[in-house]
Amino acid sequence: MAQQVFTIGKEFHWEMGHRLPFHEGGCRNVHGHSYQMRVELEGLADENGMVVDYFDVKSIVQPIVDKLDHSFLCDINDEPMVAFFKEHPMKVNYVDFPSTAENLAKHVLDSIAPLFGDYSNLHRITVRLQETERTFAEVSLLVGNN
Ligand SMILES: [Zn+2]
């Protein structure tokens, strides 16, 4: 009999400031978003009918969300902002990429994927990051045996 593959998910949210220095429109200005994120795990269920305990999903993902919450996501190549934060220390997360929704979704996925390494029943991990009510970026990683 063919095996059934389940998808489970948990949603997270945080507030964060950023800007896109390369952008020619409004996104080059300092602004923020109420980010909404859905982490989806696709895989086989265990004998109890569970893919991954939602509690474990939260234990793995929430620390990353807490680190980002109420911070400014600063591209290390954004010289004016780097200089500003050097002068005015506050909660900032430095990254080596432009802070687009795509790059941020990939950053979260890269951060959490190794932490799900013990779950050999997983086939795919997906991060869907909603930057505004109407826009999102989604990235997924195939893991284990598919
Ligand atoms: Zn933005």
Pairing of strands 31-43, 6-18: antiparallel
Q: How far is the CA of 57 from the centre of ligand 1 (A)?
A: 27
Strand order, beta sheet including 122-132: 92-95, 71-75, 6-18, 31-43, 122-132, 135-142
For residue range 77-88, list pLDDT tens digits in order: 999 999 999 999
Q: How far is the CA of 3 from the centre of ligand 1 (A)?
A: 41
Cβ-contact 139, 105 below 8 angstroms: yes
Q: How far is the CA of 115 from the centre of ligand 1 (A)?
A: 28
Q: What pTM was computed for the model?
A: 0.94
For residue range 27-45, list pLDDT tens digits in order: 999 999 999 999 999 999 9
What is the chain's mean pLDDT, rounded?
A: 96
Domains, the chain, in order of start with CATH, read 6-71+98-142 (3.30.479.10)
Assess whether pLDDT exceeds 60 at residue 146. no
Q: How far is the CA of 84 from the centre of ligand 1 (A)?
A: 19
Q: How far is the CA of 123 from the centre of ligand 1 (A)?
A: 31
* Residue (of 34, 25, 48) closest to 135 by Cα position: 34
pLDDT of residue 2: 78
Q: Helix crossing, 101-112 with 54-68: angle to 10°?
A: 130
The residue whose two tokens read 């220095």 is 21
E strand or H helix that includes residue 143: none
